[in-house]
Amino acid sequence: MINLSTAEVSDNADQNRFELRLNGDLVGILGYFDSEHPAGIPGRGRPVVDFLHTVIVEDFGHRGLAGILVGGSLDIARRRGWRVRPVCTYVQRYLTSNPGYRDVIVPIEPARRP
C-alpha cells in the first residue's frame, strides 16, 4: 500500500521536469518547456511554459498519482508567476475537472495552415 502523505512534487530545472517522489523514490515526471511569450495573451510579461507529457512508473499507475503530480506542478507554476500551456492530454483532462487553475492557463492555439 502507498502512503500518499509522503508524496512530494519538486522542480528539477536541470532536466526541465517536475518530479513526483514517494518516500524519496522517483515515481513520476511531468516534462515542460519554457516557450516564447505569445502575442495578444493577457499577462504577456509572464513566462509561458508548455506542460508536455506526464509519466507515472507503471507499478504506481491507477492510484491518483498523476493528479497529485499535475496539481503540485500547477501550484509551483502559479507561485512562480508562470502561465501554462497544457500540451499534455492528461493535463488537459485534469484541468477540465479542476477549473480553479484557469488563472494560470494559456489556451493552445490551433495549428496555422500555410
pLDDT of residue 4: 67
pTM across the whole model: 0.85
pLDDT of residue 59: 87
30, three cell numbers: 511531468
DSSP state of 54: E
Taking the C-alpha atoms of residue 84 and residue 74, their distance in angstroms, rounded to an integer, is 8
Q: What is the mean pLDDT of residues 56-78?
A: 94
SS3 12: strand
pLDDT in tens, 77-109: 999 999 999 999 999 999 999 999 999 999 877
